[in-house]
Amino acid sequence: MPLVEGVRERTVETNGVQLAILDAGDPDAPLIVLAHGFPELAYSWRHQIPALVSAGYRVVAPDQRGYGRSSRPEPIDDYDIIHLTGDLVGLLDALDRETAVFVGHDWGSMVVWHMGLLAPERVEAVVGMSVPYMPRPPLPPTELMRNMAGDGFFYILYFQEPGVADANLGADPAKTLRRMFAGLPSSSLADGLGEALADMAAADGRGFVERLPEPAELPGWLSQAELDHYVEEYTRTGFTGGINWYRNFDRNWRLTEQLTDAHVGVPSLFVAGAADPVLIMSPPSIGEPWLDDHRGSVIIDGAGHWVQQEVPDQVNEALLGFLGSLDNRRAQQ
């Protein structure tokens, strides 16, 4: 499924794994690395790649470790934040580039924020989407989640037990992906989203997929052909690789004690949909004091969690404005 004229689909060796990448644009142009989230693929950036290439950038989007055509290691520990950021550092090495602007969505956002902390010398700037920067908490994350959820259901805690969520999500990939992408309202918090979220938290023994509403039809931003592409890939791979990222929340916390009170010093931007449930749990304002060169938080009305797919024109406008400010800075140096 071609994304843009001249896109190069290939595999690179990095950090002990193989990453399938989409590589587009002038190989010598400023580099943008796009890091997807769960349950996504490099394909999730299909609307951003052409716009960024047209603006004069080289764009590389990997299927990250555990996803798509990339390696899916068996050990759960192989999906901790050290491995995930190491993959992106190794990707730069494989491309023979010193630095890049890193853009992430969902889990990819958490990875690129950590790139700004763990490998700042390789990061020109960072853009997080849907998941804002959050400073390292005082307690292991799952302990905080259990305190928050009480007796209720919380999907990240449900994902912790190996095999359980894997079977639930993998039983019918088409249903899982259809409901995850299109089940929750994205127009406003008042448009049924609050009720849907309350139902998802009910302590009634249901699995994850059963809690997601079944959409009456696909939204305008997601065609059947686009959904089919995701379904085909996840039918082949299952969901375990991506779920394993969630099983490292506490391990990541233990591995990053040195990041307590650490700041992201590179230029940063945050982009999210106004109806994204993540913003309820993690308001962007909490982490902004730890971003030393933050260029703003762009919250887009009429969009939910899948912001770069739902409202690509607004997301591309925000990205290109941010990148333009970096280009201006380069010109002044």
DSSP 186-213: -S-IIIIIHHHHHHHT--SS--SGGGSP
Say if 227 falls within a structural domain.
Answer: yes
**Closest listed residue to residue 237, CA positions, set 24, 20, 4, 45:** 20
Say if 270 falls within a structural domain.
Answer: yes
| pLDDT one-digit tens code per residue, 172-214 | 999 999 999 999 876 544 456 677 778 888 889 999 999 999 9
Report the CATH number that the domain containing residue 125 is assigned in CATH. Answer: 3.40.50.1820
CA dist., res. 139 & res. 105, Å (int): 25
User: What was the pLDDT predicted at 137?
Assistant: 95
Say if 3 falls within a structural domain.
Answer: no
Q: Percent of the chain scored above 90 by pLDDT?
A: 88
pTM score: 0.95
**Closest listed residue to residue 306, CA positions, set 272, 279, 268, 283:** 272
DSSP string, 280-322: HHS-HHHHGGGEEEEEEEEEETT--S-HHHHSHHHHHHHHHHH
Total domains in the fold of the chain = 1
Q: Count the alpha carbons within 13 Å of 109 in the hemisphere toward its beta carbon.
A: 22
User: What was the pLDDT predicted at 192?
Assistant: 62
DSSP string, 166-187: HHHHHS-HHHHHHHHHHSS--S
Give the residue numbers spanning the domain of 85: 8-332
Mean pLDDT of the 279-283 span: 91
Say if 53 falls within a structural domain.
Answer: yes
Select which of 23, 63, 87, 106 is catalytic: 106
| pLDDT one-digit tens code per residue, 78-135 | 999 999 999 999 999 999 999 999 999 999 999 999 999 999 999 999 999 999 999 9
For the chain, how big is the Rg over CA atoms in Å?
A: 19
Say if 152 falls within a structural domain.
Answer: yes
Say if 203 falls within a structural domain.
Answer: yes
Q: Percent of the chain scored above 70 by pLDDT?
A: 94
| pLDDT one-digit tens code per residue, 3-60 | 556 799 999 999 999 999 999 999 999 999 999 999 999 999 999 999 999 999 999 9
Q: Is 305 a catalytic residue?
A: yes
Say if 1 falls within a structural domain.
Answer: no
Select which of 36, 105, 114, 305 is catalytic: 305
User: What was the pLDDT predicted at 3?
Assistant: 54
Please list, in sequence order, all residues whose beta carbon lies within 8 angstroms of the beta carbon of residue 122, skipping any fewer than 6 positions away.
89, 92, 98, 99, 100, 115
